[in-house]
Structure 1
Amino acid sequence: MTSQKITPLPPHFNSAKVGEVWRVPYQQRATDASEWAKQHQILPASTDKTRICLLLIDVQNTFCLPDFELFVGGKSGKGAIEDNIRICEFIYKNLGIITQIIPTMDTHTTMQIFHPLFWVNVAGEHPIPAATNITPADIENGTWKVNPAVADSITHGDYELLEKHAYHYVKQLSQEGKYPLTIWPYHSMLGGIGHALVSAVEEAIFFHSIARSSQAQIEIKGDNSLTENYSVLRPEVLIGFDNQAIAGKNQRLIQQLLTYDKIIIAGQAKSHCVAWTIDDLLTEIQQIDSQLAQKVYLLEDCTSPVVVPGVVDFTTAADTAFNRFAEAGMHLIKSTDDIQ
């Protein structure tokens, strides 16, 4: 175990700005971080005896700020903002302990299977986002069909191929016990502001990189037009109707994570991308050595479930999943707990 002490919050951190979008002053923060490391005797990450990874799931504007597309409000209505304040504080206080930070970034383009443009009804209307699930029966009875206009961009004009894929995909979700295909609002759009990391969290990650000479490792997920990708470790469906791979597991990241002594996980949303990622990691662990689950620490106060008042509340589902993870050997902790 490392003997590195908890460090104070640096003077530039302002919790009141965590819910805002702004430009990180990189050069100034680089200077600040270098001086902070000297002042607090913070050594390069390469010297760590206990190697700790902080895996941050989708801490992006699209999920974390109220004015964006899929704000995760949780029970309090301010969930992701409150979570991100604690995430920033956790990074700064444990600056000399965290070896590497790996942020994941949900990454989408317009024509994807879970976006409205992909589907039409007999009237040529697109499904209402966040209020429409598409089941095999919906395709069979003609309620929804693949939009012929998107085939040119996705399958070089082969509409029949796209239809076969979509029907197979929706059936696979049903047969594997996953959530039905949800039509989501356009979100995390590549190149857009919503895709970016929350400014305050990005600043904390950058500060850590400089102070510890540790490269942050951004992991992109969700950019395949033909599948959802809640988890950073694998897409929702791996094999297409023709027994060809749609996409593959992120074996490189799975193997990398298991080399750490501790894997700490936080981010959004607890009920979706966080839970899916942890579940996939647990599946991989149980195929290797179930004792490896004890390496994993879940920051319960740095993640919130999807809650839309009066519409849907995934709190119970998220808590049930986390209790299952704990029963498998993972640790449920708070950001104020000692992680040394």
Structure 2
Amino acid sequence: MTPKTQLPLPNHFDTKKVGEVWRVPYQERATEAKNWAKQHSIQPAASDKNRICLMIIDAQNTFCLPEFELFVGGRSGSGAVDDNLRLCEFIYRNLNLITAIAPTMDTHTAMQIFHPIFWINEAGEHPQPAATSITLEDVQKGLWKVNPAVADSIAGGNFSALEKHSLHYVNKLSENGKYPLTIWPYHSMLGGIGHALVSAVEEAIFFHGIARNSQALFEIKGGNPLTENYSVLRPEVLDGPDGVSIAQKNAKFIDKLLEFDAVIIAGQAKSHCVAWTIDDLLTEILARDSQLAKKVYLLEDCTSPVVVPGVVDFTEQADAAFQRFAAAGMNVVKSTQLMDILPDISK
């Protein structure tokens, strides 16, 4: 197979600013993108004969910058920053081959089941974020209880129903083999800076959209106060204790992804939102046609696991998940080699 010619990096891309927050100058970049497309004979995405989607999972400040709430440093300590540098370079160098970019946005408010305010102990204290996991046994023994003060905001004042749901919830996590309920720091807060995409990634997505006349396919997740939502394709728990649905899988987005000839996946964190999204995608693929797994490509150098030194390290779990995905037929590759091993793409 003949190696595909990659595009150069545009002059505006500054590798030193990938780990910073700044305003994208949209009109300036739009003008540059139009000129870039003309200079390099980049055609509109609608003309692609083989369609490639790049799904970027939760490349938001809250996960990707060291001074923010849930920085995904991996074992290197600089994981997400390094990942995003490679991700931006991948987008720019393959601008003419990527049909659409689908960024997912983890989106939260204060009173959700995985935030400290939701729970209290006998002393009325909230759990310490990132250092606390709440198990079924913890709830059964009353070590952690629902904070009665949140019932008015998220359960219409029905505290007993909220208690019943919470017990049901941690039980379902256990039954389904999910991670125990982790209490996370307040993060990806709707309306906050942490919720925004990393500036360099946002700029690359915007530049791609203008250059290729391709609307970014934004997907919002995580706003349901009664369930975690690591995967963009479905929440952790779909029903309440009475069997009534509290959430649904994202069937429309699943169908959209599987319409593409290739789906490339990157983002944060490898051990949580990335792994859970890929797992749900694989479940859908196996239910339809296992051969579809071959068109999924995982950028292993554009994602890192959750590692909190001295507290938790999910590296092994993340690596095991990716090994399982590869065994099912998905392609685990590096961003620098991907476009050379994809099936030939003619425009």
Q: What interval of TM-score do these two structures reach, taking the shorter chain for normalisation?
A: over 0.9
Matched, 1:225 2:209: no
2-structure distance, mates of 1:279, 1:156: 34
Deviation of 1:138 (Å):
1.1
What is the match of residue 159 of structure 2? 159
Aligned to 2:187: 187
- Corresponding letter in the other structure for 2:224: N
Following superposition, the deviation at residue 75 of structure 1 comes to: 1.5
Partner of 1:144: 144
- Of 129-138 and 27-36, the range deviating more from structure 2: 129-138
Note the residue ranges of structure 1 that are not aligned, 5 or more in a row: none
Hey, what does 2:76 align to over in structure 1? 76
Which string of whole-angstrom CA distances, capped at 9 and with x for unpartnered residues, describes residues 311-339 of structure 1? 22111111110010000000011110142
Alignment partner, residue 288 of structure 2: 288
What is the identity percentage for the equivalent residue pairs of Structure 1 and Structure 2?
72
Q: What is the alpha-carbon distance in structure 1 between the residues aligned to residue 259 and residue 2 of structure 2?
A: 17
Q: Give the Å deviation of 1:306.
A: 0.8
Residues in 2 aligned to 1:257 and 1:158: alpha-carbon distance in whole angstroms: 39
Superposed CA deviations along residues 41-98 of structure 1, whole A, max 9, x for unmatched, are 0000000011000000000000000000000001110000000000000000000000
- Structure-1 residue corresponding to 2:37: 37
| Structure 1 segments (4+ residues) deviating >3 Å | 1-5
1:241 aligns with 2:241: yes
Separation in structure 1 between the aligned mates of residue 266 and residue 243 of structure 2, nearest angstrom: 35
Q: Which runs of no fewer than 5 residues in structure 2 stay unpaired? A: 343-347
Secondary structure of 1:190 counterpart: coil
**Aligned match of 2:60:** 60
Query: What is the Cα deviation at residue 4 of structure 1?
Result: 7.4
Superposition pairs of residues 95-134 of structure 1, within 5 angstroms: 95-134=95-134
Residue of structure 2 equivalent to 1:328: 328
| Alignment size in residue pairs | 340
- Return the letter of the residue paired with 1:190: L
Whether contact under 8 Å (2:298, 2:332) holds in the other structure is yes
| Distance (whole Å) between structure 1 residues aligned to residue 86 and residue 307 of structure 2 | 20
Taking the aligned partners of 1:37 and 1:236, their CA distance within structure 2 comes to: 41
Task: State whether residues 231 and 277 of structure 1, in contact with CA within 8 Å, keep that contact through their aligned partners in structure 2.
Answer: yes
* 1:279 alignment partner, SS class: helix
Using the TM superposition, give the Cα deviation of residue 310 of structure 1 relative to its aligned residue in structure 2, in angstroms: 2.0
Cα separation, partners in 2 of 1:338 and 1:152, compared to 1, 3 Å: closer
1:119–1:145: 8 Å Cα contact kept in structure 2? yes
* Amino acid in the other structure paired with 1:166: S
Deviation per residue, 1:172-220 (Å, 9 max, x gap): 0011111010000000000000000000000000000000000001100
Opposite residue 153 of structure 1, the aligned amino acid is: S
Counterpart residue number, 2:304: 304
2:345 maps to none
Q: Letter of the aligned partner of 1:237 in structure 2?
A: V
SS at match of 2:284: helix
* Equivalent position amino acid for 2:139 in 1: I
Distance 1:38 1:99 in 2: 17
Residue identity in the other structure for 1:57: I
Cα root mean square deviation, aligned: 1.3
| Residue 253 in structure 1 maps to residue 253 in structure 2 | yes
Q: Which amino acid aligns with 1:229?
A: N
Q: Distance in 2 between matches of 1:31 and 1:302?
A: 28
How far apart in 2 are the matches of 1:176 and 1:79? 29
Tell me whether 1:16 sits opposite 2:16 in the alignment.
yes
In 2, the alpha carbon distance for the partners of 1:320 and 1:120 equals: 34
Calculate the TM-score normalised by the size of structure 1. Answer: 0.98
Deviation at 1:5, TM superposition (A): 3.8
> Helix, strand or coil for the counterpart of 2:263?
strand
Which residue in 2 is equivalent to 1:263? 263
Read off the aligned partner of 1:203 and give its amino acid letter: E
Q: What are the Cα deviations for residues 101-141 of structure 1, in whole angstroms up to 9, with x where unaligned?
A: 00000000000000000001111110110111111211121
C-alpha distance in 2, partners of 1:136/1:338?
43
* SS, match of residue 215 in structure 2: coil
| In structure 1, distance between residues paired with 2:171 and 2:164 | 11
Contact preservation (8 Å) 2:131, 2:311 = no
Quick one: which amino acid aligns to residue 29 of structure 1? R
Helix, strand or coil at the partner of 2:20: coil
SS at match of 2:110: coil
Alpha carbons 1:4, 1:96 under 8 Å: kept: no
1:239 Cα shift?
A: 1.2
The alignment partner of 2:271 has SS state of coil
For structure 1, which segment, 24-33 or 4-13, has the greater mean C-alpha deviation from structure 2 after superposition?
4-13
SS in 2 for 1:197: coil
Q: 3-state DSSP class of the match of 2:34? A: helix
SS in 2 for 1:103: strand
Are the aligned partners of 2:155 and 2:162 in contact in 1 as well (CA < 8 Å)?
A: yes
Distance 1:223 1:47, change over 3 A: same
Deviations 1:144-196 (A, max 9, x none): 11000000000110101111111100110011111010000000000000000
The whole-number CA distance in structure 2 between the counterparts of 1:338 and 1:61 is 26
